[in-house]
Amino acid sequence: MSSTELPSVPASNVLPKVAPVRVAEGERLRSVGLPGITLTVRSRPPAREGLPPALYVHGLGGSSQNWSALMQELDGVVDSEAVDLPGFGDSPPPDDGDYSVTGHARAVIRYLDAAGRGPVHLLGNSLGGAVSTRVAALRPDLVRTLTLVSPALPEIRVQRSAVPTALLALPGVTALFTRFSRDWTAEQRVRGVMALCYGDPGRVTPEGFRNAVEEMERRLQLTYFWDAMTRSARGLVNAYTLGGQHSLWRQAERVLAPTLLVYGGRDQLVAFRMARRAARSFRDSRLLTLPDAGHVAMMEYPDTVARAFVQLLTEAGESPARVGEAAVDGAGG
């Protein structure tokens, strides 16, 4: 079944009114209109002029909020912006309904071209890691360095715990799941997501949990929420099946930018064993392994990921303004 056979989504000018997206202290949100898409961009005003630009790309079901902790850690190092991919966070669906990896990559490229901020330090998690890999391969002029946290690159043997997410790509599964889970509370849904994505859900603060529940309640009011999830999951599965020059692994080999790879030992969605293959595939790579981290290491261990990122910049010949305590002493695995 093609994505066009899914129910249509409402036009952006008739989207339902829901509660506003949370904006953390020191952050700003703005809406950027581009051909065929409207993107919400989360940013932190740079600590000083002249900091190199960075762009963060979230994973399936996530949003720019997933990067707030790391963005704060990197104050004074980079000029941070995080994008809500089309249909996620506060960004409305794309006009053409294209949620493929290529479609999301095109959205990122359109934004970077329009913003004129490139080349940027590009950071991606999960689906955002696959999208960022494609961007770096297709448009090396836009990418200064590449940081991938548990990137969703093709696996032959998918972990059993990742199967339910992959099943969203199958026709009819989303409808069955929504009927099955219709009585679940937002709190129950958030606990399930955290159990899947965190190595240790106990690291989430009470405030962090409340914020996640509030965001879940907001998302469930969006008529296109499950449509965006389903189509993006299908787009990711389709990307796993592509061969030749369109293969994500082949594109990883084409990436010229210095690359930091971050993998969690307790990741239930991207197998930890893929870390070594990724390190071999990206030509200029360094690997940070976090045995206790899950799928979102930048949320669980933002300080450690920040130190590794600063080390990447140093090795790439950059001169971060605040290396001091952010410098890494042999981080990696």
- Please tell me the predicted confidence (pLDDT) of residue 239: 86
Residue 18 reports pLDDT greater than 60: yes
Integer CA distances (angstroms), 196 to 16, 49, 179, 237, 240, in order: 29, 39, 21, 19, 21
Q: How confident is the model at residue 156 (pLDDT cuts 50, 70, 90)?
A: low
What is the average per-residue pLDDT within 165-174? 53
Q: What pLDDT was estimated at residue 21?
A: 86
3-state secondary structure string across 156-198: CCCCHHHHHHHHCCCCCHHHHHHHHCCCCCHHHHHHHHHHHHC
List of residues 6+ apart from 29 with CB closer than 8 A: 21, 23, 40, 41, 42, 43, 90
User: Which pairs from 113-119 meet CB under 8 Å and 24+ separation?
Assistant: 113/142, 114/32, 114/34, 115/32, 117/53, 117/55, 117/79, 117/81, 118/53, 118/142, 118/143, 118/144, 119/143, 119/144
Q: Which secondary-structure segment (H or E) carries 80?
A: strand 79-84
- Are the C-beta atoms of 71 and 56 separated by less than 8 Å? yes
Confidence of residue 329 (pLDDT cuts 50, 70, 90): very low
Instruction: Encode pLDDT of 234-249 as tens digits.
Output: 888 888 887 778 899 9
Q: How far is CA 234 from the centre of its chain?
A: 16
Strands 285-290 and 259-264: parallel
pLDDT: which is higher, 4 or 314? 314
pLDDT at 84: 98
Q: Contact, 24 vs 73, CB < 8 A?
A: no
Query: In this model, does residue 265 exceed pLDDT 90?
Result: yes
CB 183 within 8 A of CB 157: no
Q: Is the pLDDT of residue 161 over 60?
A: no
The strands making up 28-34's β-sheet, listed across from edge to edge, are 28-34, 37-43, 79-84, 53-57, 120-125, 143-149, 259-264, 285-290
| Tokens coding 48 | 């000083």
pLDDT of residue 242: 78
pLDDT score of 209 more than 60: yes
Q: Of all residues in the chain, what percent carry a pLDDT higher than 90? A: 69
Helices (H) and strands (E) in the chain, counts: 12, 8
Q: What is the pLDDT of residues 225-235, one digit of tens each?
A: 989 999 998 88
> What pLDDT, on a 0 to 100 scale, did the predictor assign at position 286?
97
Bond before 119 cis per omega within 30 degrees: yes
176-188 residue pLDDT tens: 556 656 778 899 9
Q: What pLDDT, on the 0 to 100 scale, is given for residue 295?
A: 96
Quote the pLDDT of residue 323.
40
Residue 91 is given by DSSP the state P
pTM score of the predicted model: 0.87
Q: What is the mean pLDDT of the chain?
A: 86
Query: Residue 262: which H helix or E strand, with range?
Result: strand 259-264
pLDDT in tens, 30-65: 999 999 999 999 999 888 889 999 999 999 999 999
- Partners of 264 in beta bridges: 290
Instruction: Name the more confident of 1 and 152.
Output: 152
d(CA 58, CA 177): 23
Q: Degrees (nearest 5) of the Cα angle 148, 233, 65?
A: 50
DSSP-based three-state secondary structure for 57 = strand
Choose the weakest-confidence range: 134-138, 158-162, 326-330: 326-330
